[in-house]
Amino acid sequence: MLRSLAFDADDTLWHNETHYAETQEAFRALLRDYHDDAWIDARLHDTEMRNLGHYGYGIKGFTLSMIETALELTEDRLDGAGIRQVVDLGKAMLAKPVEPMPGVTEVLQELSRSFDLMLITKGDLFDQETKLARSGLGTHFSKVEIVSEKDEATYAAILARHGIAPQSFTMVGNSVRSDILPVLALGARAVHIPYALTWAHEAVASPLEAPFPVLASIRELPALLRSW
């Protein structure tokens, strides 16, 4: 029987946080006459956190949070053309090409011969489906799970639904909070492949000695799996 190997998508298979960072830089530029960068960043982060319960994760909610922050920070003085620029920043993010990171396509191809590959990703259903389609990676995965939160209960439900025992399940991702800790808590395995940027909301204090493998690139994954 094939063991199950599941991958996170954003910042594990393709770039995501980079697009947010680029957009946030353009947003700062729009408001630089009113406030300094650190203050703009802090207010945007607060708005995002306050809105998470209304909007969930994803680009549409982020765009609405940028609009709200821009109005707050300019005391409603930002004009229509400015608001339109913020709307267009969001649309540009949605239209960004989805390019697999180096090594991803080859490694998935190789591993699909010995594992049942799954994709487990958090976020907006429509965003994630279209990103997967644009990435060209869809054919490698026998199962795709798009969820609104990645916690222990979510992983437990996914494993139960597919009849997968935790001992035969491994999760690979860039977020210690979402991809690693809840999976280890279930008695399954997890492999951390850090990304250069971590969204503040996903950041957790890193243990000095991680009780899970940490790889510099997905290219190192097949050798690790062979060593188990």
Residue with smaller CB distance to its own copies, 23 or 63: 63
* Residue 67, number of CB atoms within 10 A of its CB: 18
User: Is the Cα dihedral 4, 188, 184, 155 positive or negative?
Assistant: positive
Residue with smaller CB distance to its own copies, 68 or 220: 68
Q: Give a three-class secondary structure readout of 35-74.
A: CCHHHHHHHHHHHHHHHHHHHCCCHHHHHHHHHHHHHHHC
Q: Give a three-class secondary structure readout of 137-167.
A: CHHHCCEEEEECCCCHHHHHHHHHHCCCCHH
Among 61, 173, 182, 213, which residue sits at the site for its own copies (rule: CB under 8 A)?
61
Residue with smaller CB distance to its own copies, 95 or 205: 95
* Cα–Cα distance, 12 to 75 (Å, whole number): 39
Q: Does 9 bind its own copies (CB under 8 A)?
A: no
Q: Does 78 bind its own copies (CB under 8 A)?
A: yes
CB 142 within 8 A of CB 169: no
Q: How far is the CB of 26 from its own copies (least distance, A)?
A: 17
3-class state of residue 201 by DSSP = helix
Q: Does 83 bind its own copies (CB under 8 A)?
A: yes
Among 84, 114, 153, 167, which residue sits at the site for its own copies (rule: CB under 8 A)?
84
Q: Which of the residues 147 through 206 are near its own copies (CB under 8 A)?
A: 147-148
Q: Does 1 bind its own copies (CB under 8 A)?
A: no
Q: Does 71 bind its own copies (CB under 8 A)?
A: yes
Q: How far is the CB of 98 from its own copies (least distance, A)?
A: 14
Among 10, 11, 124, 179, which residue sits at the site for its own copies (rule: CB under 8 A)?
124
Helix, strand and coil percent figures for the chain, each rounded to 5: 55, 15, 30
Write out the residues near its own copies by the rule CB under 8 A.
Answer: 54-58, 60-61, 63-64, 67-68, 71, 74-81, 83-84, 87, 90-91, 94-95, 124-127, 129, 146-148
